[in-house]
Every structure is written in C-alpha cells, then in structure tokens.
C-alpha cells in the first residue's frame, strides 16, 4: 500500500511472491505515475532472472508516454523470429504522466486496456497467454511511482474496474477478502538476487571455460591442418587501371579511354549469343581477357572511344557482368550513353542500387534536358544478398526485350523483376555516336561513380537474353586464370553440411554455436568443406522473393504446446477446430472397418521396418480413438487452408513440414529409459488415413509418408541421429518435392542431418479432401508450432533455420501448465484455518470522528500565533519572487496551522457522515484505506495515507465476526483516541442466537424459574400483609415482591427475545437471492451485480450493518437489565445471610467499624491527593507515569501495590517521593486499615460468643424446619402473635404455660404444653433463679426502672444517663432559687453558706427521693463524681 518512488526496477526472487497466470482469464491493476520517465514495465515476469535474455518477458504490462503494451510469450512463442508477442494501444501522455490507475484484462481471445476505469482499447489475441516456470517478478522502473499492484485471477468487468478505481478494490473483494502482498524488496530478496546472479555468472563461466577448452583444442588441430596445406596457391593479383590524363577534361580525375570494343565481338558458349566485351584486355595491362578488374576511388570515370564503340545496340539488348560494387551514394552506373558529356539525360544506361537494377533512358526520344526520362526499375532484391556493398561477386544482368516490351533484371541467374513498356518505344531509345558520350563506371557529367571489382562485363547487342540463357551464363562462366567457376555463391542444393564429426565428437551444429563466440574455430579447411553452412563459408545465391511470396504457409498452433496422453489412453489426439469429435466417433462407430497398416517401401536403415508400427494410434479402433481425443490441444484452421493444400498436392505441389519437439523432465520413457515418441499426422481420421508418421527410434529417425494411393504407395526414409537428448529441443523437417520426370523426392531432417530418397510420382487425394485433420502423440512432450509450407524448402535453408533458431528455442521453456489444467481446474482456495471456528462476516470498517479547522482559537495566544506565522510566510520571501505559494495558502492560514472546532456538516474523502451507534461518523472500508494508495471520489483523487490527519479525534476499526458452531455474532471494536498521545483500547460485543436444543433448555429453565418466583412472590405478599410483623420485615417483604416482579419481567422479555433473535440474526447475516432479486442482510449485498449502482451497494451495506449493530445494542441493554437484577439479588442474599450470627461476619464487621472506616478513608484520600499533586507538579514534564492527574493517580496505585517504576533510582527526588509515599501509604495506612478490620472482627466475634441463643447455621436451619412442622402439627399461633404475647409479659422474670394463653383463648392448653416442652430443652430458655434480695435503695431504683421500661416498651436508662439527668435537675433548681432570692443576698457568702446543702443530697435527688431517703449501701455517702464513675462501671 502507499506510493513508492523507484529509481530502478525492483527484482523479487523470494519464493511464493510471483503472480500465477493459471486461470482462463486474469486482470492486473496498478496505480502508476510516469512523471518524466519515457516508460517502464509496471510488472513483468522475466524469462530469465539474469543474463542475455533477461529483457524478454513471459508476460508483462508496460506503460509508456506513447503506448500501453502487454508483452507475453517469450517462453512459448510459436514464431522463432520474434522474441515475444506484444499487444499495444496508444496512450495519452498527459494522463500517464500523472497519477492514474492502469488496468489490463486478459481472456482467451482478447485483451482490454483501461485507464482510470475508461476503456482505452480492446485488441484480439493471436493466441492464449500462458505462464512460464521462471520464478520472481520485476516491478517498476526508473522515475516511476507505483501504488498497489493487484492481480485478479479472473476477468474484471468494466463496472468492477470502476469499483477498483473508486474504492481501491472490487466490492466483491471487499466483502470476501483478498491476499495482500507488499511488492517491496527485502534483504532476503537482495541476498537471493545476489546469490542467483553469482550462481548464474559462475555457471556461465564454467560453461564458457568448457566451451573455450573445446574450441582451443579445435583451433590447435585446425592450425596444424592449415600449416600442412599452406603450399596451395591462393590466386593471382588483380590488375589496376593505369592513369591517363586529359581524356575528357582536366577538372576530372585521371581516367582511361577504353578502345577496341568493336573488335571483341564473340560467341558466348553458355548462352549461344554474341556479345561485346566492355572490358577489353588490351586496355588493361596485365589482365587476360575475361579477367577480374578492381576500380579504385582514385581511378574512376572512364569513357569509351566512340570510334571503336558499337554505333547501335539494337532495339533489344542485354548487359551482363560479374560485379562487386562499393557504393557510397544512392546508386552507381556501370555504363551510360549521353547525348552530351555535359548533361545527365541518358539514351540508355545500366544502373545499380541497393535493392534494384535500373534502366534510365529516353533522352533522345523526349528531348529532355533534365535527369528525368524513362525509368525502368526491376526491384525486390534484399540487402542481405549484397547487390551492392556485398561480400561476393554477383552476376547481374539487365535485359531490354523489344518483342515483349519488357525490361528485365537478373541476379545470380535468377530474375529480380520485370517492367513492361510500349513495344515500339525501344526501337528509338538509342542515339548515334556523333557528339555522344559513353561513360564507363559513372554518369555524366561527373557523378554516381562505380568503385569495386568487376569481371566479364558484356554487351549483347540485339539480343534479349531469356531466363534460361541468363541461368546458363551464371552457371557456366569460368575464370580464365584459374579455370574455376566465377560464381562465389551456392544454390540451395549445394554446399550442405554433412554428418561430419571431429575426433571429440563435435558435429557441424556444435561448430556453428562455437563460431558465435570464436570465429576462428572453423579455421581447418576440412571443417570448412564438411560444414560450410555452420562455419559461414556458404554464400547463398539469390532466391527470388516472388517465389517464396507466391507460396502458402500455414501453422498448427501459434505457441509451444504441452501435449500429454489422456488418462486411460496411450495417445493424445489433437483435432482441427472444425472437426466435430462426437460426429467423428459416431462416423467411426457407423461401420468404418479397421484398415491394415500399409506396406512401407524405400530404404529400411538398420532393419527398423519390422518395428515401424510400434507406438501407433489405431484410429480405426473407435474406443481407442475416443479415449485419445483431447479437446484442449485443438488447432485453428483459418480459411480452411487444409483443403486447397490437399488439392495442390494432387496437382504436383510440394510441401515442407517442420516442428520442434522436446521431452519434459518427467516424461514417461520406455523400459530402457529412452525417449521414443511417435507423431502421426492424419488427413482423414474416419476412415483412418495418416498422411505422415514420424518415429523416433534409438539413434534413428524414420518418417513414413502415405500418399493415399493404396497401401503399396506408402514410402519412408530414415536417418541416423544418435541418442536423443530428452532435455533439448529436436528440430524435425519432412520435405516432399516434385522433380518432374525424375519423380518425387522425400527428404527428412533431424537437426542438421538430412537424408533423401527418390520415389515414383503420384499423390492421391484423401477421403476428407483435406491435408490435415488431426495430430496424434504417443508421449508427453512439448511441441512447437507445426510449420507447413506449400513448397519444398531447400535443405540448406532448413539447416540455416535450425542453426539460427536453435538459440531462440532454448528459451522456449513452454507453458507452466497444460491448457486442460489452466482452463478446467479451479484455483485452489488459499485456506488459512483459524484456531477458533469463526470468521469475518462483513468487511472491516474504519470509522473516524473529527473536528473542523478554524483560526479563531479559544485562547488569544493560539489565534495570535497562527495569524502571525501565516503573515510571516505569505509576506516573506517564501511567497515572493522567484517562489510562489498556492492561492489556498494566500487566502487562509488554515493551510499552515489551525485550532479545532465542531464540524458536523463536513465531508471526508468525498463522503458525508454515517450514523453508527448513536453517533455520526465518517466511515470507510478498512481495506480501501490500508490496501490501496489512493481512492477516487467524484473524479477527485485522495491519497489514503491522508485519511487520518490533525483533525482526527478518534478512529474505530469495527469487525463483525460469526461463529457458526456456537451461533454467536460478535463485533470487535478497536478504538484509538488521538490527543497529546494516542490511547488504544478495544471492546468486544457478543450476541448468541438461542435456537434448537439450547432454546428448549432455556425455556425449561425459564419455566421453573417462573414457577419458583411466583411461589416466592406469593410468600412475600403474605409476609408483607402480616399486620403483627415488624415494619422492617414488612418493608423487606415488599422489596422482595418488587424483586420477584422484576425477575418475572426479565424472564418473560428474554423468552420472547430468544424466540425472535434467531430469525432476526439470520436476516441480518442475510443470504443471496436465488430468484435474481436483491439479497438481504450483510451477505446478501449484491457486490458483484452489474445492474446495481455502486452507491446503492454501499448504502445497503451500511443499512444492514446498522441494523445488526442496533440488534446487538438492544440485546446488550437487556443483558444490562439482567445484570442489575443479579446485583439486587446479590444484595438481598447478603442481607439474608446477615440474619444468622455465624454468617454475618462480613456485614457485622463492616457495620461495627463503619465509623473507623469512614475516617480512615477520609485520611487516606487526603494523603493520596496531596501526594498526587506533588508528583504532578514536580514530575509531569519528565515522566510519562505522571503526565496528568489521572495517570498520576493510577501510577500511585501501582506504587501502593508495590510496583516500582523502572527509572525510580535515576532521579533522587523521585526516589525520595516514592520512599515517603510508601511509608505513609503502604506501611502505615494499609496497616491501619488492617488493624481496623481486625479490631472490628474481634468485637463481632466476642458478641457472637456472648450470644446465648446461637447454635450454628445448620442446627438453627434444622430447628427452624422442625418449628414449622410442629406449628402445623400442634396448631401453634404465628410467630408474630407469640412474640407479641411474650412482650406483653416482659416485666415478669418467667412465663409459664398458663401465661402463654392468648387473650381470646384461641391457643389450647395442649398446644401450649407442646410449645413449652419444645423450647424447654434449650438451656438458655430454662427457668432461672430469682435475683438476690434488694439490699439498697439504688438497686431497687434500678430494678423498678427496668421493669417499668419493659412495660412501656422503652429502654431502661443507664447509670451514667441517670447521674447526668440528676445533675441537670439540680442545676435547674439552683437557678430557680437564685432568681427568687433578694438582690442583696445573691452575692453574700454568708447567705450562700447558710443555704448550702450537702453535695450528696443534691446528687441523689430524684423523683424517687421524695418518698424518703434511699437506704445506703455504706455508712458514708459517695460524692457526685464517685457515683458517676461507679454507675458507669456497673453499666
């Protein structure tokens, strides 16, 4: 993801990263920006990781300023003259220079190019695109920016390309997911690339060393051979023209006047025609007649003596010469006749150019004074034959045929071309010698010079040489000095390479390859003679292109095919596309009888005829035929060329069949481990009529040709080949040639070895009327395009083709997969199992909350800073000449800095807000932002890396998952709050669909829950209506009624929710419609629907997602309701267990020490906050643990638990702070808390020990059940009535049976007896003795107060309360008396002394004292303070 700028192609060699072209169709998309780059590959698969052929591609997408191109097929191209195939369309330079999305969609027949989702062009493919076995990819090029490169193993539709352009991926992929790969070079890639390069270099070095070693040995042998033959003559030196000044003018270079042409008239023995020698030997010292002449650049522009030159050459004439010109300009002249030496118009001339022979004429006829005239060009000579500037002496002939009205030109005895003209025109072309100028080796006045070699330049006056005469001159001309033919070239049936092998076993093919690196390897004369083609010694004579152009050539397949016998068959039969396989088998089963194999005539090398039938497909066996037919290797037959081809053969046409064959590494070999395939070409399949059968025996290649004229007419020929190398390509050719009266010749060729045989003439037409209907293979192999030409290709041409194309074939590794696998087998789904049975239900969403921008901050400081900074930039040199700032920056400071403000109406990436979970937020698919570099909305390009910026307040990644096994839908939300720091948290929400057995279990449990709750509700209502029950118990009963009602309400709502939740969740999950209508739910969104708009799909998804979110929220609210009920029930349970002393420890301990707890936590809070403020003020700027008050409190809590920060020892102040904090909080406060808890617990424990009625929980529970049973059995009144009756008699020391009777007499004596007997067995209820006799007044008062208090249901006062009350009464009495006394006595001590009463009488004053003095326990009355103390102690 993101955009990457490259300075060089990025090579990836790590295993598993290369895309695979293993599907019938595929698509590639990428974001590309060329910038100033001329163009580069976006992605390609090199044919080789390094080396010479690294530039070739198995497949690759190229984007340039002028074109977009898809290259493919360097590994399986059927055309050996082309390294790779290419399909291109023009591109817009402005578009490709900027950032744009480039997409290519490839299927079996066409390729489509898209730029920014707009179709740029659609082109037809000549063949299918396949993959190669090479590993690694090359991505990008120098100066290119690349974004996400995505490979789709299917053909994207135009709407899907638009979805990728808008959202970064197809909506279908957003829903189903994809496998991302970041094409970035890693250190491992670089290491492997380096290692691979080193390995390739070392391997190449070893191969070169081995080759050089062999070449060195060959060179040594060749040098010895040449030394032994060094005494042979090498030929005579050529004569040179001697200068003769002043022949025309002094301004010209020295030249020679050529005289005596008239005296050279002679009869040519080859053509039987008379000629003039235009190079008379008498004019050239040292040269014999007919010898070779060299013209230098200093010795040129000669002229003929008119007195000794023929006055007329006749209406028909011919020029013939052996020439080797060196032409610097456009053309040159051998001879030309001008009316004047000062002007260029020609009466006639003999002109040569690089690809033509011409005749400029007509100066006399038209009276022209310009260079124009009658021009006759015979064109068509390729420069490779060297008409000019070539290495050979070529025979060139120019013929003016007045009878036919033709100008003909010849080269090497073959006609170049012919031009027609009016027949009466040639008779007046020539002009008389009077005043004329006949130029030799130039054109008047002084141009177009001829430089080079020439020999036997002849003029045939009045004779128009025929094709046969020209061929005879070319074949029969000899050099008078050596007696050898002048011809330096050879015809196609001459100079073939032989089966020669040197002492090291090297054949001619090895020398051809070795000569490419070391030309001296062919230095030996014997080697040149045996391998002239391989050693480059052969110079081919001119072959008229018209002969090749007029013949038909067709191909079977346009690429390398991987052919394999079908399962259940020993052969693979590939049919022509127009042949119906079913009809073929049906015709076979209709009664076509098997035909016996034909008798093979001709040579039978090594006695292989007896085994010639091995490995053949018996196409007459219908079952065997049907099992062998492979529809995936069918071949096209354009224009049904097979029919005219067969018709031509019956009329004597020739043909040549060529192919390359190679075994695969795992090809099944025979029992002896040899590769021995059989290839059959059928003209007719039903009935079986094979036209050609190729047998690859051990060291023998054998071909059988069936001419359909009867079994006896089948012919065959074989040749020795040596053991086939199953790891190398083998070239095979079969030639059938009509030799006229001599019959037909059948030739076969394997690699460079050729064998031919003559046979009787005749070709009979096949029953199908076609030349080829099918090809059968007996082995799994690679086969190239089968090239079928409707002419006999010369053997030497085939040898040259083999030598020239062998390096290209070595590159053809073939397809990585067979077509059957590529077209039929589905791509294996990349399974990545999870440990939990769950998966994503919907594409993850990325939600964002953001604020707007404003330059009006809440603080004057912020606003001033933004405004001042913006003014400094816009008014300073940053935006002054030569710099320039954008208009947006000049208009607003928001481009520089900003503060935040509420922004509810904004848009982000071209979209508004969506409502999720009660809030409006911006939403995008997570993969659109994370997987792609850009997205496009309303034509605007947005870089995805800018989705989160300074305005972002929070982001959420929401993933919806489903666990089918547990029927649970979950939403995982990862939230990042962006502020001064980023805080990341997550939450998970689950919702389970209760269905089936689980729903039934819940209903059963809910039913029992409702029954029990209703019973409890009735019981609580009855308790609440008890009038005699205490108010606290009635209030408690009412709370229990409310709690029971809440439980019933929750169970009922949950019951209904569970019934409807399953279908509701299923509707939210959704499903695709089977009727073509729109689907429902998240999975029912029609992502791949072509007729649904992009925005409609997005809207439907968000609607379904929000519906699922609302359902989950509703269930969560219901769960919260249940949680609150559970908490209330927990509190109720705690209240219940606090009834019994033994299980009320928790509640009793807290309530007993509640006062201490309150004051402790008050003190702890004060200390905690003070320490927090100290830490915040001192350490916040330095440590993250104290960044703010909230974080500080959390850090202090960690310290309180004993967790020390890592850096506490680095700062002395921090260490001191932590030490004091630990002492105050950890060592003191926590121990204080522990002491409070222990003290409260001990007090509660002591109270329990003083409790007389407590037994233990189990005994008391059992006793309660017994009481309930006896109450029913003996009809005891309710507990509340008995307690009320006992409280009425609380003043008594004991209550007996008689006292228990109810006022209304409803409690029978017998029942009371049972009640009394039941409780009599408890020791704490046994009758106790009466207290001791009251011996003092105070004791009597205490006893009376207690009894009265019991009667009035009030607490008895304690001794302290009683003492304080008496003191207050005495005080009030003194005040009253002081107010009643006279004023003058109020301060009189005497008065005070006279009215003073003893302290004791005042302290003992009480309402009881009025009755008389209370008896004293001691003889002396205690003081007031002493009485108070004693009273306190007694309490």
Q: What are phi and psi of 1055, to 5 degrees?
A: -60, -50
**DSSP-based three-state secondary structure for 272:** coil
Instruction: Determine the pLDDT at residue 663.
Output: 83
* Average pLDDT score, the chain: 77
**CA-to-CA distance for 943 and 941, rounded, in angstroms?**
7
- The strand pairing partners of 703, in sequence order, are 694, 717
Q: Nearest 10 degrees: CA dihedral of 96, 100, 101, 102?
A: 0
pLDDT at 1409 over 60: no
**CB distance 329 to 297 below 8 Å:** no
Radius of gyration of the chain (CA): 59
Q: Nearest 10 degrees: CA dihedral of 1287, 1292, 1296, 1297?
A: -40
Q: Of all residues in the chain, what percent carry a pLDDT higher than 90?
A: 8
Q: Which two tokens stand for residue 1422?
A: 């205690």
Q: Which two tokens stand for residue 488?
A: 């330096």
Q: Which of residues 187 and 1302 earns the better pLDDT score?
A: 1302
Instruction: Determine the pLDDT at residue 114.
Output: 94
Instruction: Determine the pLDDT at residue 805.
Output: 86
Q: What are phi and psi of 489, to 5 degrees?
A: -100, 170
Instruction: Determine the pLDDT at residue 373.
Output: 53
Nearest to 352, CA basis, from 422, 302, 410: 410
CB burial class (10 A; 0-12, 13-18, 19+) of residue 1259?
A: exposed
pLDDT in tens, 890-908: 888 887 888 888 765 577 8
SS (H, E, C) 294-360: EECCCCCCEEECHHHCCCCCCCCEEEEEEEEECCCCCEEEEEEEECCCCCCCCCEEEEEECCEEEEE
Predicted confidence band of residue 775 (pLDDT cuts 50, 70, 90): very high
Predicted confidence band of residue 765 (pLDDT cuts 50, 70, 90): confident
Q: Which of residues 55 and 397 earns the better pLDDT score?
A: 397
DSSP string, 956-999: EEEEEEEETTTTEEEEEEEEEEESSSEEEEEEEEEEE---HHHH
Instruction: Determine the pLDDT at residue 549.
Output: 47
- Segment 698-726 shows an average pLDDT of 65
**CB distance 26 to 155 below 8 Å:** yes
Give the least confident one: 387-396, 553-562, 1081-1090. Answer: 1081-1090
- Segment 115-137 shows an average pLDDT of 86
Predicted confidence band of residue 112 (pLDDT cuts 50, 70, 90): very high
H or E segment and range at residue 659: strand 655-663
- Segment 1146-1171 shows an average pLDDT of 88
Q: Which of residues 1136 and 116 earns the better pLDDT score?
A: 116
Instruction: Determine the pLDDT at residue 1281.
Output: 81
**CB distance 339 to 469 below 8 Å:** no
H or E segment and range at residue 561: strand 561-563
Predicted confidence band of residue 219 (pLDDT cuts 50, 70, 90): very low
- Segment 306-331 shows an average pLDDT of 84
Residue carrying structure tokens 């037909």: 744
Q: Which two tokens stand for residue 101?
A: 């999305």
**CB distance 401 to 317 below 8 Å:** no
Instruction: Determine the pLDDT at residue 1113.
Output: 86
pLDDT in tens, 616-652: 888 888 888 889 999 989 988 887 787 888 787 777 7
Give the least confident one: 677-686, 825-834, 1123-1132, 1389-1398. Answer: 1389-1398
Instruction: Determine the pLDDT at residue 654.
Output: 84
First CA to last CA distance, the chain: 86
pLDDT in tens, 460-482: 999 999 999 999 999 999 999 88
- Segment 334-338 shows an average pLDDT of 88
pLDDT at 1287 over 50: yes
Instruction: Determine the pLDDT at residue 1142.
Output: 76
CB burial class (10 A; 0-12, 13-18, 19+) of residue 1057?
A: middle
Q: Which two tokens stand for residue 209?
A: 């060393």
Q: Which of residues 917 and 752 earns the better pLDDT score?
A: 752
**CB distance 951 to 830 below 8 Å:** no
- Segment 1125-1134 shows an average pLDDT of 87
Nearest to 389, CA basis, from 328, 298, 299: 328
- Segment 352-375 shows an average pLDDT of 64
**DSSP-based three-state secondary structure for 190:** helix
pLDDT at 1136 over 70: yes
Predicted confidence band of residue 1356 (pLDDT cuts 50, 70, 90): low
- Segment 662-667 shows an average pLDDT of 75
**The pTM is what?**
0.64
pLDDT in tens, 1413-1435: 333 333 333 333 333 333 333 32
Q: Nearest 10 degrees: CA dihedral of 663, 669, 674, 679?
A: -60
Instruction: Determine the pLDDT at residue 229.
Output: 38
| Number of other residues whose CB lies within 10 A of the CB of residue 886 | 9
Instruction: Determine the pLDDT at residue 384.
Output: 53
pLDDT at 62 over 90: yes
Strands (E), 212-280: 257-258, 266-268, 273-277
Cβ neighbors of 567 (< 8 A, separation 6 or more) are: none
Q: Which two tokens stand for residue 474?
A: 């070319």
Instruction: Determine the pLDDT at residue 365.
Output: 53
- In the DSSP assignment, the letter for residue 853 is E
pLDDT at 104 over 90: yes
Q: Nearest 10 degrees: CA dihedral of 164, 165, 168, 172?
A: -20
- Vertex 696: Cα angle to 695 and 699 (nearest 5): 130
pLDDT in tens, 485-523: 998 888 877 888 888 888 888 888 888 888 888 888 888
**CA-to-CA distance for 713 and 736, rounded, in angstroms?**
14
Cβ neighbors of 890 (< 8 A, separation 6 or more) are: 874, 879
Instruction: Determine the pLDDT at residue 829.
Output: 58
Distance of CA 972 to the CA centre of its chain: 27
Give the least confident one: 559-563, 721-725, 853-857. Answer: 721-725
Q: How far is CA 1184 from CA 979, 1094, 1408, in A?
A: 15, 47, 76
């Amino acid at each position: 993801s993101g955009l990457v700028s490259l300075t060089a192609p990025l090579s990836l060699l790590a295993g598993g990263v290369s895309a695979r072209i293993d599907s019938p169709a595929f698509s590639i998309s990428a974001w590309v920006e060329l910038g100033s780059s001329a163009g580069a590959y976006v992605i390609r698969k090199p044919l080789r990781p390094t080396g010479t052929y690294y530039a070739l591609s198995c497949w690759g997408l190229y984007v340039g300023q002028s074109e977009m191109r898809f290259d493919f097929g360097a590994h399986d191209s059927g055309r050996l003259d082309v390294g790779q195939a290419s399909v291109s369309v023009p591109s817009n330079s402005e578009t490709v220079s900027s950032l744009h999305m480039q997409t290519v969609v490839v299927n079996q027949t066409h390729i489509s190019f898209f730029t920014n989702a707009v179709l740029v062009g659609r082109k037809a493919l000549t063949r299918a695109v396949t993959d190669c076995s090479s590993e690694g990819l090359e991505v990008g090029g120098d100066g290119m920016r690349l974004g996400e490169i995505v490979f789709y193993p299917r053909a994207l539709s135009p709407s899907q390309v638009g979805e990728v352009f808008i959202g970064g991926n197809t909506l279908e992929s957003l829903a189903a997911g994809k496998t991302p790969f970041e094409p970035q070079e890693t250190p491992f890639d670089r290491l492997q690339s380096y290692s691979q390069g080193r390995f390739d270099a070392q391997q190449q070095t070893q191969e070169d060393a081995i080759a050089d070693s062999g070449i060195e040995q060959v060179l040594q042998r060749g040098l010895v051979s040449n030394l032994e033959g060094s005494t042979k003559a090498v030929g005579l030196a050529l004569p040179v023209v001697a200068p003769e000044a002043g022949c025309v003018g002094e301004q010209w270079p020295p030249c020679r006047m050529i005289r005596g042409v008239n005296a050279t008239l002679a009869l040519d023995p080859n053509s039987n025609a008379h000629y003039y020698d235009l190079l008379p030997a008498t004019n050239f010292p040292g040269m014999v007649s007919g010898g070779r002449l060299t013209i230098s650049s200093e010795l040129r522009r000669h002229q003929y003596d008119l007195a000794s030159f023929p006055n007329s050459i006749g209406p028909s004439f011919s020029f013939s010469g052996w020439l080797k010109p060196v032409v610097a300009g456009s053309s040159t002249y051998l001879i030309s006749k001008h009316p004047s030496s000062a002007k260029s118009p020609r009466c006639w001339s003999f002109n040569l150019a690089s690809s033509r022979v011409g005749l400029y004429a007509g100066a006399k006829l038209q009276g022209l004074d310009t260079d124009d005239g009658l021009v006759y060009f015979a064109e068509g000579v390729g420069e490779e034959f060297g008409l000019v500037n070539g290495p050979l002496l070529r025979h060139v002939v120019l013929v003016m045929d007045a009878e036919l009205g033709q100008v003909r030109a010849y080269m090497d005895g073959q006609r170049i071309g012919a031009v027609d003209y009016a027949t009466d025109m040639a008779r007046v072309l020539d002009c008389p010698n009077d005043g004329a100028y006949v130029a030799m080796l130039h054109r008047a006045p002084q141009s177009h010079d001829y430089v080079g070699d020439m020999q036997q330049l002849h003029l045939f006056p009045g004779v128009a040489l025929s094709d046969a005469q020209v061929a005879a001159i070319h074949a029969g001309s000899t050099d008078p000095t050596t007696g050898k033919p002048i011809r330096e070239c050879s015809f196609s049936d001459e100079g073939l390479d032989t089966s020669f092998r040197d002492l090291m076993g090297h054949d001619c093919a090895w020398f051809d390859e070795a000569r490419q690196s070391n030309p001296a390897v062919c230095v030996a004369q014997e080697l040149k003679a045996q391998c002239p083609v391989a050693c480059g010694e052969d110079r081919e004579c001119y072959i008229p292109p018209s002969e090749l152009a007029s013949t038909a050539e067709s191909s079977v397949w346009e690429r390398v095919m991987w052919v394999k016998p079908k399962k259940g068959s020993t052969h693979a039969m590939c049919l022509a596309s127009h042949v119906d396989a079913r009809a073929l088998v049906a015709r076979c089963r209709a009664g076509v009888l098997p035909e016996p194999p034909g008798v093979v005539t001709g040579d039978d090398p090594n006695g292989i005829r007896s085994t010639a039938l091995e490995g053949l497909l018996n196409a007459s066996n219908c079952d065997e035929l049907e099992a062998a037919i492979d529809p995936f290797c069918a071949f096209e037959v354009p224009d049904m060329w097979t029919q005219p081809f067969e018709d031509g053969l019956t009329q004597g046409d020739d043909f040549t069949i060529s192919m390359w064959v190679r075994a695969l590494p795992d090809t099944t070999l025979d029992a002896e481990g040899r590769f021995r395939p059989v290839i059959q070409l059928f003209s007719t399949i039903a009935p079986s009529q094979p036209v050609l059968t190729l047998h690859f025996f051990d060291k023998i290649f054998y071909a059988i040709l069936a001419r359909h004229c009867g079994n006896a007419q089948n012919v065959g020929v074989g040749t020795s080949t040596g053991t086939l190398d199953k790891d190398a390509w083998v070239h095979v050719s079969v030639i059938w040639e009509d030799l006229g009266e001599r019959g037909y010749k059948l030739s076969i060729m394997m690699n460079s070895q050729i064998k031919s045989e003559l046979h009787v003439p005749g070709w009979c037409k096949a029953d199908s009327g076609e030349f080829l209907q099918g090809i059968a293979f007996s082995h799994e192999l690679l086969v190239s395009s089968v090239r079928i030409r409707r002419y006999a290709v010369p053997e030497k041409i085939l040898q040259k083709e083999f030598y020239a194309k062998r390096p290209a074939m070595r590159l053809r590794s073939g397809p990585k997969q067979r077509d059957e696998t590529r077209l039929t087998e589905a791509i294996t789904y990349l399974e990545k199992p999870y440990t939990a049975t769950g998966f994503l239900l919907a594409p993850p969403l990325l939600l964002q909350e953001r604020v707007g921008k404003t330059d009006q901050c809440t603080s004057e400081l912020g606003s001033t800073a933004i405004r001042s900074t913006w003014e400094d930039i816009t008014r300073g040199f940053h935006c002054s000449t030569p710099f320039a700032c954008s208009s947006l920056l000049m208009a607003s400071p928001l481009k520089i800095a900003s503060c935040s403000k509420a922004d509810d109406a904004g848009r982000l990436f071209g979209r508004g807000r969506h409502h999720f979970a009660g809030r409006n937020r911006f939403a995008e698919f997570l993969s659109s932002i994370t997987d792609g570099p850009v997205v496009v909305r309303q034509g605007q390009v947005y870089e995805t890396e800018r989705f989160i910026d300074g305005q972002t307040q929070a982001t959420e990644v929401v993933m919806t998952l489903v666990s089918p096994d547990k029927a649970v839908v979950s939403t995982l939300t990862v939230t990042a709050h962006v502020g001064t720091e980023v805080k990341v948290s997550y939450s998970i929400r689950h919702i389970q669909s209760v269905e089936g057995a689980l729903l039934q279990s819940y209903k059963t449990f809910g039913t029992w829950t409702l029954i029990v709750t209703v019973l409890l509700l009735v019981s609580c209502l009855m308790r609440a209506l008890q009038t005699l029950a205490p108010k606290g118990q009635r209030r408690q009963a009412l709370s229990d009624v409310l709690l029971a009602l809440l439980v019933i309400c929750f169970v009922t709502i949950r019951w209904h929710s569970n019934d409807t939740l399953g279908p509701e969740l299923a509707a939210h999950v959704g499903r695709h419609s089977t009727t073509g209508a729109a689907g429902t739910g998240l999975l029912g969104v029609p992502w791949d629907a072509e007729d649904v708009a992009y925005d409609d799909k997005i809207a439907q998804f968000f609607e379904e997602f929000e519906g699922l979110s609302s359902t989950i929220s509703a269930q969560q609210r219901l769960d919260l309701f249940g949680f609150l009920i559970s908490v209330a029930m927990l509190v109720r349970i705690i209240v219940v267990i606090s009834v019994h002393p033994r299980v009320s420890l928790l509640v009793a301990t807290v309530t007993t020490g509640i006062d201490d707890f309150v004051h402790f936590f008050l003190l702890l809070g004060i200390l905690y906050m003070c320490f927090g403020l100290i830490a915040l003020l001192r350490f916040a700027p330095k440590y993250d643990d104290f960044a703010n008050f909230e974080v500080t409190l959390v850090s202090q809590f960690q310290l309180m638990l004993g967790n020390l920060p890592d850096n506490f020892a680095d700062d002395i102040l921090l260490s001191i702070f932590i030490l004091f904090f630990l002492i105050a909080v950890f060592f003191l406060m926590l121990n204080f808390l522990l002491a409070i808890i222990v003290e409260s617990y001990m007090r509660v424990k002591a109270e329990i020990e003083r409790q007389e009625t407590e037994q233990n929980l189990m005994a008391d529970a059992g006793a309660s059940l017994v009481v309930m049973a006896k109450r029913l059995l003996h009809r005891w009144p309710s507990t509340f009535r008995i307690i009320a009756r006992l409280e009425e008699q609380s003043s008594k020391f004991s209550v007996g049976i008689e006292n228990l009777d109810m006022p209304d007499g409803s409690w029978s004596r017998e029942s009371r007896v049972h009640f009394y007997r039941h409780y009599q067995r408890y020791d704490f209820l046994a009758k106790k003795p009466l207290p001791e006799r009251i011996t003092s007044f105070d004791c009597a008062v205490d006893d009376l107060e207690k009894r009265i208090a019991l009667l009035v249901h009030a607490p008895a006062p304690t001794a302290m309360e009683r003492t304080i009350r008496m003191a207050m009464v005495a005080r009030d009495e003194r005040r009253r008396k002081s107010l009643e006394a006279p004023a003058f006595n109020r301060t009189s001590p005497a008065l005070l002394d006279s009215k003073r009463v003893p302290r004791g009488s005042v302290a003992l004053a009480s309402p009881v004292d009025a009755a008389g003095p209370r008896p004293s326990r001691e003889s002396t009355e205690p003081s007031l303070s002493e009485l108070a103390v004693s009273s306190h102690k007694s309490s």
